[in-house]
Structure 1
Amino acid sequence: MTDFAQAAEAATAAMRDVFPETPLSHNDWLSDRFGADIWLKREDLSPVRSYKLRGAFNAMRKMDGSRVACASAGNHAQGVAWMCRHLGVDGVIFMPVTTPGQKIAKTRIFGGERVEIRLTGDFFDATLRAAQDFCAETGAQFLSPFDDADVIEGQASVAVEMLTQMPVPPDLVVLPVGGGGLSAGMLGYFRAKGVVPEIRYVEPAGGASLSAALAAGRPVTLETLDSFVDGAAVARIGDRTFEILRQVPPQHVLRVPENRICVTIQEMLNTEGIVLEPAGALSIDALRDLGPEIAGRRVVCVTSGGNFDFERLPDVKERALRHSGLKKYYVLRMPQRPGALREFLDVLGPSDDIARFEYLKKSARNFGSVLIGIESADPGAFEGLERRMDGMGFAWRDLTDDPVLGELVI
């Protein structure tokens, strides 16, 4: 057994004086659905509802300073805040302006008077620079959310617990990837123990920094970033974490669409009563892509976090409907004459429901542009709707999957 394995196991043992291990639970519904033996490592049930507490604990217990600073989209912030209060250390926590309010509020609760929160930057990387500049100016100790040896060592405790909780090692482990701290820590521990299951790494499609790094052979900064999966939307994977992950086969990295993740969030909430944030649902959502590959096999999905702001639920529902083909948006050229709207209503099928109706151009003399959102109980119903609109002479355009126009009008 190598030094890394021993250090990870020592960190895991030390954690038991502060917080309990998270459950590893068999999930019957997912097992039946995918024809596999599916287990969930429930990091969403840690004291701060994410695995980030582990890395913060391990790094901060080794620090000798009295002030710490970090940058985080939420979960690392909560872990640091919780440890600041537990250890009696002052902390300054930098968070993106776009961080969900629920995560900001919980960070304040966990840290109490020991932490100061500063909101800066629209994306994590701008927030990170602000925190690092603050440390350079004040001498505070910076605690990286992922690109730190002690943090990686702390996140490895997930793998330590997993191997002790299972009767036999898993055949396949499915891990979410953001900055790479969790995946690097777990892979490093498996390697050090000489017990390496197959691993699939899951990224949000709009933040695939590991895929980009593997393609380039080094960490690179993504030109664009979709911040919806805020717990894993990182524009550049860590240098230290990539050194551990650089031998990962590119075909073992899965990129899942943000809107489909919303379907998984809803399913887990409605069917299993499990509250997951978008990053926490990544590993479960990837089961759809693994399909026959996991049939009959023992699979562990790490549910990395459950800090979900329920104010986001309408957006999650909207995205899920669009991904499932149950909602579409059209711009319709509507004649400006009596009876035109009534004619359009006759075009609707029995399961079609108008969810939005808005004139975009009201001053036109002969025709007006209308934004209309339609929900249906049957994805196949839209083909018939569009055929009937053509037959009635209505000019229309589908905006549902148009990223530019969709951002402007939907």
Structure 2
Amino acid sequence: MKAYLQKILTASVYDVARQTPLDEAINLSKRLGNRIYMKREDLQPVFSFKIRGAYNRIAQLTDEDRERGVICASAGNHAQGVALSARRMGIRATIVMPRTTPGIKVNAVRALGGRVILHGDNFDEAKAHADKLVEERGMTYIPPFDDPDVIAGQGTCGMEILSQHPRPLDAIFVPVGGGGLIAGIAAYVKQLRPDVKVIAVEPEDAPTLHHALRAGERVTLDEVGIFVDGVAVRQIGEHPFAVAKEFVDDCVLVSTDEVCAAIKDIFDDTRSVMEPAGALAVAGLKRYVEERGCEGETLVAVNSGANMNFSRLSHVAERAEVGEHREAVFAVTIPERPGSFREFCEAIGNRSVTEFSYRYADPEHAHVFAGIGLHDGAEEREAVLRDLRERGYSVLDLTDDEMSKVHLRHMVGGHAQNVSDEILYHFEFPERPGALLKFLRRLGKRWNISMFHYRNHGADYGRVLVGIQVPAGQRERFRESLDKLGYQYRDESDNPAYALFLS
């Protein structure tokens, strides 16, 4: 670990990277009752911290290595860091990116001088192709996180934090994917200021470090979520884990809604828009403060990046209110008669109805999809739920149901008539030209599609909700066909919201 300290102190990053500000978040500090600072890595030349590690790794190359050029596999920030670093040093850079990579990121790498090769539908396939090119052409592979020089470059972020805030500091919150950033920060901070806590933050659907710390060894996740794509890594790096298991004090997991709320919080204080991974640390800080009841502490969150696809902003805005506990989403059964909506609104009092969708169900009842504005967070949500039930309403709380928030709120339109043997599945597949047509052709040859909802959220993967008529005797053969499709899927047939609104 002392070797890391020396590497960080002598890291070559400032030829291209900036010392970013440590800004106080005035609004968030007031709301949380603590003094909150944001380390603004979104202000780097490539809008993320990745430039630090990429440049430091490339700076260590011999003249012979530089002549052969460098290569990496990345769909995002690391690709831009390698491209800019190589251009600054006059080195040829080849970047292998999945074909699913949004055009904005591909164009950014090309603008920085990188030669882009689009290969495969995911990072693993792109990485395999990069490895093949290394073997064939002798280029040097620049890893995104699992390398001591990359870790040392990222560690300069921690060095700056302690220099910029020499006064008492309680904790630093760091987003974690492969672990290079937290390893670098922890290796520096914990050896100079062991009193300062270093706390990892991960999405609930990509807990690579959390599971590894609990198991005492690195684990490989079967799958990871795609929303916080900047940290969508199935296994923590070997070198980062060696540092993390010694120096990381805690690991906080946060939901998609909490990340969206954090993006809004950062915007309110800085007028900057973070990518989901860039807001991860703030989301974890907020949850930590809420769970621990912290007051009067000094806390730092690393805003790691701002390479946000514009098309994702509507999804973020939609989910931020739920993540901030300012909206509850309920399915409510009300009488099918004149005046029943007015009575329902009276039942929820002065709270605003943010959404109201329903369709005729039968002569006696209507099923309502309702969004209700909140002022006092989760406690008020429980109070509204309890009050509605006491008034005789049948209520299902959908606030934490992912299918309802992603698909159902845009689909509510009543039950289909005369549809037999219907089952409901959710799919994820690479978002590239022809992917949807390929999906429909392969799925729809044998069984009838009775319902279909597709919504592009500007991510690398599309998400589809499909109702399919499959007789009971053919269900096993159907599932075998799904496995051959090669797409991630899950059965939503038993989801209670499906029974209420669609089946």
**Under TM normalisation by the shorter chain, which class is it?**
0.7 to 0.9
Are the equivalent residues in 2 in contact too, given 1:55–1:154 (CA < 8 A)? yes
Cα separation, 2, equivalents of 1:93 and 1:389:
57
The residue number in structure 2 matching 1:33 is 31
User: Alignment partner of 1:215: what SS?
Assistant: helix
The residue number in structure 2 matching 1:357 is 357
Q: List per-residue Cα deviations over 1:252-310 (Å, max 9, x = no partner).
A: 11112221121111122134323222222222222223335653333322211122223
1:164-313 paired onto structure 2 within 5 Å:
164-168=163-167, 170-191=169-190, 193=192, 197-248=196-247, 252-291=250-289, 294-313=294-313
Uncovered stretches (5+) of structure 1, i.e. residues with no partner: none
Q: In the alignment, is residue 347 of structure 1 matched against residue 347 of structure 2?
A: no
Are the equivalent residues in 1 in contact too, given 2:75–2:97 (CA < 8 A)? yes
User: Alignment partner of 1:57: what SS?
Assistant: helix
1:54-133 paired onto structure 2 within 5 Å:
54-63=52-61, 64-65=65-66, 66-96=68-98, 99-109=101-111, 111-112=112-113, 114-118=114-118, 120-122=120-122, 124-133=123-132
User: Alignment partner of 1:58: what SS?
Assistant: helix
Return closer, same or farther for 1:3/1:225 CA change in 2, 3 Å cut-off: closer
Cα separation, 1, equivalents of 2:232 and 2:139:
26
Higher RCO (CA < 8 A, seq sep 6+): 1
* TM-score calculated relative to the size of structure 2: 0.68
Are the equivalent residues in 2 in contact too, given 1:202–1:254 (CA < 8 A)? yes
Return closer, same or farther for 1:134/1:212 CA change in 2, 3 Å cut-off: farther
Deviation, structure 1 residue 239: 0.9
Give the aligned residue type for 2:288. Answer: L
Give the aligned residue type for 1:54. Answer: R
Return closer, same or farther for 1:383/1:40 CA change in 2, 3 Å cut-off: closer
Return closer, same or farther for 1:289/1:357 CA change in 2, 3 Å cut-off: closer
The residue number in structure 1 matching 2:142 is 143
Cα separation, 1, equivalents of 2:72 and 2:168:
35
Q: List per-residue Cα deviations over 1:87-129 (Å, max 9, x = no partner).
A: 23332323345555543443333x23x321425334x444434
The alignment yields a C-alpha RMSD, in angstroms, of 3.4
Return closer, same or farther for 1:365/1:160 CA change in 2, 3 Å cut-off: closer
Give the aligned residue type for 1:326. Answer: E
The residue number in structure 1 matching 2:417 is none
User: Alignment partner of 2:236: what SS?
Assistant: coil
Are the equivalent residues in 2 in contact too, given 1:125–1:235 (CA < 8 A)? no
Are the equivalent residues in 1 in contact too, given 2:330–2:395 (CA < 8 A)? no
Deviation, structure 1 residue 222: 1.1
Uncovered stretches (5+) of structure 2, i.e. residues with no partner: 410-503
The residue number in structure 2 matching 1:154 is 153
Aligned pairs, how many?
Answer: 396
Cα separation, 1, equivalents of 2:388 and 2:194:
60
Are the equivalent residues in 2 in contact too, given 1:163–1:169 (CA < 8 A)? no
Give the aligned residue type for 2:207. Answer: A
Q: List per-residue Cα deviations over 1:129-160 (Å, max 9, x = no partner).
A: 44334433443322111011211111111122
The residue number in structure 1 matching 2:331 is 330
* TM-score calculated relative to the size of structure 1: 0.82
Identity of aligned residues (%): 34
User: Alignment partner of 1:231: what SS?
Assistant: helix
Q: List per-residue Cα deviations over 1:310-345 (Å, max 9, x = no partner).
A: 32111112222233251425386996xxx67x6446
